[in-house]
Amino acid sequence: MEDNIINDKSLFNIELIQGVSVRGFKESDFSSIQNLYKEEGWMTFINRDKDSLESWKNSSIAIVAVEEEQIVGLVRGFTDGNITTFIAEIIVHRDYRGKGIGKALLDICHQLYPKTRIELLADEEVYEFYTRNKFRKIMGFRKSYEV
């Protein structure tokens, strides 16, 4: 979805740290995205790289934070545009955490789809980040199917 609305910079009213910009995903970003997945230990995305690339290309939200052509953050998700926006993945590179990039990525998702609530699954280690950003904890489930 390289020509999606995310590439319309007029939609973004978010301040990021010096030198970091936000834009829509391009297929040429994929190897850098895979590196972030690997650093986080998210091996499903590494082991199923073709499926992972297709998921990025078919997502309604596919945004990267970039510094000097290096991907330092990402968010990917889906929305019905009216009620729910679901964040499938959000990652900020370890060296860039605590600088507002994750919050900015979530704020952009909300700006793009302001009528929707944002839902996501997260590990307990990031609980404080989400509560600080006015998310509330709800119970969730996941089931994976063998491919």
- The 10s digit of each residue's pLDDT in 97-130 is 999 999 999 999 999 999 999 999 998 899 999 9
Q: Please, what is the average pLDDT of the chain?
A: 89
H helices present in the chain, as ranges: 30-40, 43-47, 49-57, 101-112, 127-132
Q: What burial letters (b/e) apply to 90-127, b meaning 16+ CB within 10 Å?
A: bbbbeebeebbbbebbbbbbeebbeebebebeeeeeee
The domains located in the chain, with CATH, are 20-132 (3.40.630.30)
Q: CA-CA distance, 63 to 93, in Å (whole number)? A: 14
By percentage, how much of the chain surpasses pLDDT 70?
89
Q: Is the pLDDT of residue 1 over 50?
A: no
pTM given for the model:
0.86
- The 10s digit of each residue's pLDDT in 64-103 is 999 988 999 999 999 999 999 999 999 999 999 999 999 9
